[in-house]
Amino acid sequence: MSLVSLEAMAAVLPAGVERWRASDRAAWKRMRQRDITASIVGALVDVHDFASPFSVWAEKSGKVKPDAEETAAMERGTLLEPVAVELIRRRHPDWTILYPVDWYYREAANRVGCTPDVFVLIPGRPGFFIIQIKSAEPMVFRQKWQQDGTITPPLWISMQAVTEATLTGASGAMVGVLRVGHGLDFDLIEVPLHMGLMNRLRRESLAMWSRIERDDPPPVTAYGDDRDGRTIRALYPNADEGLMKDLTGNNRVRELLARRLELQARESDGAAATKERRAIDAEFIHLLQDAAYGSVGDGRVVAAKVRRTAHGKTSRTITIQGDRNERRRQASADRGQLPAPDLRSPF
């Protein structure tokens, strides 16, 4: 079948779906802002690796701006996407491929949208398929994609592919995953289309937009999970040094302080402890909001003051004032050494 036939199929939209061609990247971003897009629908049910219900709420409500700069992973994905498409062409010369797909699809009633990567016609298969392209660092691929010798996309990526297939009217969906090592490893995995899952995502999208209208944020992710750390720091970049919050009686604060003490004792063991401690610090900032200090009620004060980094940027740094371990850690840090922790109870 010809490319013309594929384009004609893709132009037949499911009921309730609109299709818009973005004139430039800025216009495309504006279109996406009004919807929950396929790339983050998994966050609505809290299965996304990089986003959460809270981060989606903060971004879509306009309280924080999407990152203007590409991360290293995003840059890798952008640059390698054409490479993956070329591999599809070489391995499946009988397929008809439409790439790039310069359309934004949206289901206005449920405020869900998507921009598919690739459309393909496959001989012997009805209709057309969408292919969602991903690139993965080889170690991450082994940890998150391989299960008992089979390749299974992470759930949030499968949800992205299902959403794209549903909104475009495709009869099937695939995920293509590219790894770059000594050579190029590339696999295509077909993803089943579960309409029950899609209906759940539609309901969750409407529930999220209802939260946004009510200014009702979802809970932040639990400590140990830093998906909300960047969002929290963007929400509360400043600290009023004349403002102290009363955290007395907040049992969550005591849990965080105890866990933070444990993590500081083993941060020299590796990055995992540091990452979890940063997630706890982000939760402290969320509790304090614009206040620079919070009184715990047992002689300790949580301080979240603004400091300027060596690169000229500002960030809020957590210290625990009145904590003997914190004082020893700060003094040792100034000397360039890690102290042996005092593990006696701070309470």
**How far, in whole angstroms, is CA 83 from its chain's centroid?**
24
The pLDDT value given to residue 222: 63
Listed by start position, the domains of the chain span 3-214, 226-335
Dist. CA 244–CA 242, nearest whole Å = 7
Residue 335 phi/psi, 5° resolution? Answer: -90, 0
Q: What is the pLDDT of residue 3?
A: 86
pLDDT given for residue 323 in this prediction: 66
Total-model pTM: 0.83
Residue 340 has pLDDT above 50, yes or no: no
CA dihedral 95, 98, 104, 107 (to 10 degrees): -30
Reported as a single tens digit per residue, the pLDDT across 282-298 is 999 999 999 999 999 88
Distances in Å between the alpha carbon of 207 and those of 44, 68, 95, 117?
9, 27, 40, 27
Is pLDDT of 224 > 60?
no
Q: Is the pLDDT of residue 226 over 90?
A: no
The span from the first CA to the last CA of the chain, in angstroms, equals: 73
Lowest-confidence segment of 160-164, 267-271, 339-343 by average pLDDT: 339-343
What is the pLDDT, as a whole number, of residue 344? Answer: 34
Q: How confident is the model at residue 342 (pLDDT cuts 50, 70, 90)?
A: very low
| Residue 300 exposed, middle or buried by CB count within 10 Å (0-12, 13-18, 19+) | buried
Task: State yes or no: pLDDT of 70 exceeds 70.
Answer: no
pLDDT, one tens digit per residue, over 12-67 is 999 999 999 977 888 888 899 999 999 999 999 999 999 999 999 999 999 998 77
- CATH class of the domain at 3-214: alpha beta
Q: Please determine, for residue 339, whether its predicted confidence score (pLDDT) is greater than 50.
A: no
Q: What is the DSSP string of 262-327?
A: HHHHTGGG-HHHHHHHHHHHHHHHHHHTTEEEEE-SSS-EEEEEEEE-TTS-EEEEEEEET-HHHH
Q: Scan for tokens 């009702």, then name that residue.
A: 216
How much of the chain, in percent, has pLDDT values that exceed 70? 88
State mean pLDDT over 141-162: 94
> Is the pLDDT at 338 greater than 50, yes or no?
no
Mean pLDDT of 306-326: 77
Give yes or no for residue 309 having a pLDDT over 50.
Answer: yes
Closest by CA to 240, choosing from 279, 294, 311, 282, is 294
Highest-scoring range by mean pLDDT, 137-141, 170-174, 181-185, 246-250 = 170-174
Give the pLDDT mean for 102-119.
96
Query: At residue 310, does pLDDT exceed 70?
Result: no
Between 144 and 327, the more confident residue is: 144
Mean pLDDT of the chain: 87
Rounded-to-integer distance, Cα 245 and Cα 187, Å = 53
**pLDDT band with cut points at 50, 70 and 90 for residue 207:** very high
3-class DSSP state for residue 164? Answer: helix
Q: Which residue has the higher pLDDT, 3 or 128?
A: 128
**Is the CB of residue 200 less than 8 Å from the CB of residue 27?**
no
